[in-house]
Chains A and B, each alone.
Chain A
Amino acid sequence: MSVGDYIRNSQIWKSVFRHPAPTDRRNRVVVMLTNFFLHLHPVSIKQQGIALSYTWCMGGITFFLFLVETITGVLLMFYYRPTLEWAFYDIQALRDVQTLGIMREIHRWAAHAMVITVWLHMYRVFLTGSYKPPREFNWVIGVLLLVLTLLLSFTGYLLPWDQLAIWAITVGSNMAKATPGLGTEGPGFQLFNTSGYELITNASDAKFLLLGGRFVGEATLNRFYILHCVAIPLVVSGLIAIHFWRVRKDGGISQPL
């Protein structure tokens, strides 16, 4: 008996993989049903539905980039301290001295790539009419995921705490100040400020909510850090699960009816 056979017949191996290697038709079916990571897929699929020139693979790539972001992001969190004192210098150290500092490069480039692949995924889904019934609601979830992808990228933009970061966030968050009704430089906030009592001030408006202060400062850094590393990824993970589940439930990958 070869070493390979010995391992494959051991109790440990069999407890992990509950059936022989997927080399024949039966086991290729079984593997899709018993493997946690593969069970997202159907067992069989239309040939044209998985042709690259049809799907462009952009949804899958987006998901893969999300995983890359999660892994590199967790590694970066071991180094990075979200304080005014350290944020910039930790990133600088990642660039100049830390052994796996390239994680930051990969994290940033994968983030840019993810924004682009989300757009391209959406482009493909539109151009093949795949949002049409019965997939309408999954398109809506997809739009939410698009927003969250942009927000993930936007909140991450601040963390290096360099000039590029704080001014991009300043430009972006100045928009919040103009929210109708809820910002001190937007129309309609006076409606809340009747009879001498001011409800919407620059210490209570939408921009303040976003930044945790009147301007981009330490509270903003903390807020964006939590949003970027915990809050938004949690929501995104949930929505991704629903998005994938609905792809299956709404009839699998789209095909001519």
Chain B
Amino acid sequence: MLNSHPDLTPSVLIGLGWFYLLVFLMNLLWTVRSYKHEGEFKNGVPKASIWAVYSSILMMLSFYHFTYPVEGFLVSMPSGFKDVFDAWFSNPVLFFFLSIAGLVFMIQAREWWIKPTVSWVLLNLSLIFMGLSLTDYDFRQIVGKPDNVPIVAMLFIVAFFTWIYFTRAVDNDRRITQGRPLFEQENNDKVLVWPDLVYTELICMVVLTAVLIFWGIALKAPLEEPGSSVKTPNPSKAPWYFLGLQEMLVYFDPWLAGVVLPSIILGGLMAVPYIDFNKLGNGYYTFKQRSFAVTTFLFGFLPLWVALIVLGTFLRGPNWNFFGIYEYWDVHKVEAANNVNLSEFFWNGLGLGIPKGSTVSQILLRESPGILLTLGYFALLPPILGLTVLRKYFVRMGVMRFLVFSNLILWMAILPIKMLLRWAFALKYIVGIPEYFFNI
């Protein structure tokens, strides 16, 4: 018998069967919940019936995969969608903009998407997307790597906890407007740590141990060929949690992306409690009372950290080229990169030609536009911002605190700024002094 899906081995199909079974069971519980709480449509049909139909489709889908459908009908992502997705939506520019747009949407529409039904539909959509995509060979190659499985799990976990945050924050914000006590202040009597906390901890430890053992049996830790300093793998990737930093290497030289920026990230994190002068929002969930702090943190954590890890792990292939999630990692894919330095733009734009020479003063003259721009950015912008847009902060923070704060914000902004300049003008370096390894 000819197998029409040679890469869909029985174990993959059985795995998909278990996947859909899990989604079915989740939705079965949801149907019960919906039947109890959500009432009926106008014609008397319970709203839960929609979920019941959906659940039974999932159940049939699951059983269908267990029968190992070698030939014929297979539920998979339509190839038209895959082609469009890979061709139109797979580039770092759009990826970055979509992650920013997602963040804006998440914050603006928070009262809408945290509703149980809406978030449940969103969860189902992402699970179905996963299930359908898993039938694709190239998608499975990259998502199914043992080291990448935790990253996929992390995405769902981070989404879940973000949902918890917004649910509780929206609830508390409503309570504050209505003058009711915070959620954290209700039913907040003191209880004894034994048994109320120690048993939670015990159960947590037992569950985690079970999870780790199961995970260890189900998924072998990767072990490739013995290390050889001669054979360079393509792509060579850092450990997954550093892939956000490795992605910065596309836009900055190693001294910035690998040393200065990480140090500033850590220094900035440590400085957070000393910069944030807002006394509200201490010890409870809220968005409205600290919208600036939370938005900044979410921006740093979600698009600039988690999304860049996803980009680096799943979408960067050989030669650090960008690949769609359904695309084969072709070593020979060529992407033109003719990036130009700011000094070339400037001197050629003036029609003067780039100043030549390699003495220090000649180099400084050549790079003067970039140097002035950078100095202006870090030295002039803080006072200007402090006297105009951020005056409110300047007054409350004092000089030192405000200078640290504004410089950290400016450092945080240089990655998106450099990305935009690269994409819009193919800008290579703002200051390019390769003679002294000083490229910005």
A83 to B364, CA, bound (A): 49
A246 contacts B by Cβ under 8 Å: no
Whether the pair A105, B225 counts as a contact (CB closer than 8 A) is no
Whether the pair B227, A88 counts as a contact (CB closer than 8 A) is yes
Interface residues of B in 268-320 (CB under 8 A from A): 269-270, 272-274, 276, 278-286, 290, 293-294, 297, 301
A140 contacts B by Cβ under 8 Å: yes
Whether the pair B437, A32 counts as a contact (CB closer than 8 A) is no
- Given contacts A105-B216, A171-B238, are A255 and B184 in contact (CB under 8 A)? yes
A229 contacts B by Cβ under 8 Å: no
- Given contacts A41-B198, A255-B184, are A116 and B154 in contact (CB under 8 A)? yes
- Nearest chain B residue, comparing its CB with the CB of A91: B223
A91 to B158, CA, bound (A): 32
B197 contacts A by Cβ under 8 Å: yes
- Nearest chain B residue, comparing its CB with the CB of A170: B236
B179 contacts A by Cβ under 8 Å: no
User: In the complex, which range does the number of interface residues on chain B fall in?
Assistant: 35 or more
Whether the pair A105, B226 counts as a contact (CB closer than 8 A) is no
Interface residues of B in 187-226 (CB under 8 A from A): 187-198, 200-201, 204-205, 208-209, 212-213, 215-217, 219-226
A126 to B436, CA, bound (A): 40
Q: Which residues of B lie under 8 Å from residue A170 when comparing CB positions?
A: 236
Whether the pair B284, A102 counts as a contact (CB closer than 8 A) is no
- Nearest chain A residue, comparing its CB with the CB of B217: A102
A41 to B191, CA, bound (A): 13
A203 contacts B by Cβ under 8 Å: no
Interface residues of A in 98-115 (CB under 8 A from B): 102, 104-106, 108-110, 112-113, 115
Whether the pair B190, A44 counts as a contact (CB closer than 8 A) is yes
Q: Which residues of A lie under 8 Å from residue B95 when comparing CB positions?
A: none
- Given contacts A105-B221, A162-B223, are A153 and B239 in contact (CB under 8 A)? yes
A244 contacts B by Cβ under 8 Å: no
B164 contacts A by Cβ under 8 Å: yes
A157 contacts B by Cβ under 8 Å: yes
- Taken residue by residue from 10 to 44, chain A's Cβ proximity to chain B (1 for < 8 Å, 0 otherwise) reads as 00000000000010010011011000001001111
Q: Which residues of B lie under 8 Å from residue A217 when comparing CB positions?
A: 229
Whether the pair A56, B184 counts as a contact (CB closer than 8 A) is no
- Nearest chain A residue, comparing its CB with the CB of B188: A48
Whether the pair A140, B270 counts as a contact (CB closer than 8 A) is yes
Among A1-9, A127-135, A231-239, the stretch that binds chain B is A127-135
Whether the pair B223, A95 counts as a contact (CB closer than 8 A) is yes
Chain B binding surface, main DSSP class? helix
Q: Which residues of B lie under 8 Å from residue A179 when comparing CB positions?
A: 255, 259
A209 contacts B by Cβ under 8 Å: no
A256 contacts B by Cβ under 8 Å: yes
Whether the pair B198, A38 counts as a contact (CB closer than 8 A) is yes
Instruction: Name the residue in B221, B228, B266 with the highest tally of chain A Cβ atoms < 10 Å from its Cβ.
Output: B221
Q: Which residues of B lie under 8 Å from residue A106 when comparing CB positions?
A: 212-213, 215-216
Whether the pair A168, B255 counts as a contact (CB closer than 8 A) is no
Whether the pair A139, B188 counts as a contact (CB closer than 8 A) is no
Q: Which residues of A lie under 8 Å from residue B219 when comparing CB positions?
A: 105, 109
A234 to B201, CA, bound (A): 24
A10 to B262, CA, bound (A): 58
A26 to B364, CA, bound (A): 76
Q: Which residues of B lie under 8 Å from residue A60 when comparing CB positions?
A: 201, 204
Select A50's contact among B187, B200, B241, B437, beta carbons within 8 Å. B200
12 example contacts (A-B, Cβ-Cβ < 8 A) are as follows: A28-B194, A50-B191, A52-B200, A56-B161, A68-B208, A163-B227, A167-B237, A168-B237, A178-B255, A180-B255, A180-B259, A186-B254
Contacts from A to B (Cβ < 8 Å): 22, 25, 28-29, 31-32, 38, 41-50, 52-54, 56-57, 60-61, 64-65, 68, 88, 91-92, 95, 102, 104-106, 108-110, 112-113, 115-116, 119-120, 123-124, 126-133, 135-136, 139-140, 143, 146-147, 150, 153-154, 157, 160-168, 170-172, 174-180, 183, 185-190, 215-217, 254-257
A sample of 6 more A-B contacts (CB under 8 A), given A128-B284, A183-B255, is A22-B194, A41-B198, A64-B205, A127-B297, A132-B283, A255-B184
